[in-house]
Amino acid sequence: MKSMVIGGIILIVALMAGTYFVAGDSFNLGEDYINDLTMLAGLAIIGITVFVALKYVNQIKNDTASGELAEENWDGIGEYKNPIPSGWGLAFIGTIIWGLWYMFVGYPTNQFSQIGQWNEETLEHKAKFEAKWNNITPAELTAMGESVYLVNCAPCHGVDAEGIDGKAQDLTKRISKASVIEVINNGANNFKTAYPGGMPGGMAFGADVEVVAAYVAGGFKGEAPAAYAACAGCHGMDGNGIEYVGPNIKSYDDSLMASVLKDGKKSSIGTMPSFSGILTDTQGKAVANYLRSLGE
């Protein structure tokens, strides 16, 4: 046993020294108490781990089972009615106490963090950006929208906004016939921010589905088919939508674009991810303005 203790002490010292020489400089010890605590915790873990390992190796070599056998057994294998080792219980309670101390005292949530700093600087930059372009002109808004589109949207929808067949929507028009048919048949709840109620499926049947889809995808030209009356209750006879009821299905208005960018969108050809936190409100309006300009 004596040789095991000596070997354990030598191992602890070697591991501690190795940890310090490898990671000590990275922690800037003495300059930040959080780093000091981290290094101290690492050294404590090394010491406790080696001590516990030696203790149980010694028990495995020398101890024998004892105590009162429980009446229950499984295939002749029984258990002793022994309490848990006091060290286990104390370690469990100590871990809880240390966790609470670390959460509220050792490293409270109001301490500096790089993620928190990045979030604060991002919000500050967005606020300055919004203030700078508070009185932006329509021409400037369209120019900004084109720039934002080319950076964020063009990789999927193409620089000409005509989309990628089967993968990304053609944005030169508000909606495709296939998308209208998909929504009529199956319903949709894409625009949760602006239109939380969603749309149920089965608003038209049979040949009416094709007629309504062709009318909507064609830009509401000519006389509206009779079956479109079921759609007009939420989207309006002109297709410009009703606030908080049904989105604009004739053109890309600001509220529609804001909802798409925040919530993403699932369509008949795939799912567009959310851009929440990436683009500002002004940039969202700019993209909507640019897309509207493509159809002019």
Which CATH number belongs to the domain containing residue 264 in this structure? 1.10.760.10
Residue 9 lies in a domain: yes
- Helices 177-186 and 207-217: crossing angle in degrees, nearest 10, is 130
Which amino acid does the sequence have at 57? V
- Could you tell me if 35 and 171 lie in one domain? no
- Could you tell me if 83 and 144 lie in one domain? no
Rounded Cα gap, residues 192 and 14, in angstroms: 59
Rounded Cα gap, residues 292 and 296, in angstroms: 7
Residue 203 lies in a domain: yes
Residue 126 lies in a domain: no
Which amino acid does the sequence have at 189? N
Residue 125 lies in a domain: no
Q: Are 266 and 135 in contact (CB under 8 A)?
A: no
| Full 3-state SS string of the chain | CHHHHHHHHHHHHHHHHHHHHHHHHHHCCCCCHHHHHHHHHHHHHHHHHHHHHHHHHHHHHHCCCCCCEEEEEECCEEEECCCCCHHHHHHHHHHHHHHHHHHHHHCCCCCCCHHHHHHHHHHHHHHHHHHHCCCCCHHHHHHHHHHHHHHHCHHHHCCCCCCECCCECCCCCCCCHHHHHHHHHHCECCCCCCCCCCECCCCCCCHHHHHHHHHHHCCCCCCCCHHHHHHHHHHCCCCCCECCCECCCCCCCHHHHHHHHHHCEEECCEEECCCCCCCCHHHHHHHHHHHHHHCC
Half-sphere exposure for 284 (CA within 13 Å, toward CB): 22
Which residues, given as ranges, of the chain have pLDDT below 70?
1, 23-33, 108-111, 295-296
Q: What is the pLDDT, as a whole number, of residue 81?
A: 81
- Could you tell me if 150 and 254 lie in one domain? yes
- Could you tell me if 6 and 76 lie in one domain? yes
- Could you tell me if 58 and 156 lie in one domain? no
Using CB atoms within 10 A of its CB, is residue 111 exposed (0-12), middle (13-18) or buried (19+)? exposed
Residue 98 lies in a domain: yes
Q: What is the pLDDT, as a whole number, of residue 30?
A: 59
Domain that holds residue 274: 137-294
Q: What is the pLDDT, as a whole number, of residue 145?
A: 93
Q: What is the pLDDT, as a whole number, of residue 199?
A: 87
Report pLDDT digits (tens) over 193-233. 788 888 888 888 888 889 998 999 888 988 889 989 888 88
Q: Are 230 and 204 in contact (CB under 8 A)?
A: yes
Q: What is the pLDDT, as a whole number, of residue 20?
A: 73
Domain C-terminal end among 76, 99, 114: 114
- Could you tell me if 147 and 91 lie in one domain? no
Report pLDDT digits (tens) over 248-261. 988 888 888 888 89
Q: What is the pLDDT, as a whole number, of residue 197?
A: 80
Q: What is the pLDDT, as a whole number, of residue 23?
A: 67
Q: What is the pLDDT, as a whole number, of residue 26?
A: 60
**Domains in the chain: how many in total?**
2
Residues in Cβ contact with 36 at an 8 Å cutoff, skipping those fewer than 6 apart: 27, 29, 30
- Could you tell me if 90 and 163 lie in one domain? no
- Could you tell me if 109 and 151 lie in one domain? no
Q: What is the pLDDT, as a whole number, of residue 66?
A: 76
Q: What is the pLDDT, as a whole number, of residue 108?
A: 65
Residue 56 lies in a domain: yes
- Could you tell me if 93 and 151 lie in one domain? no
Rounded Cα gap, residues 184 and 192, in angstroms: 18
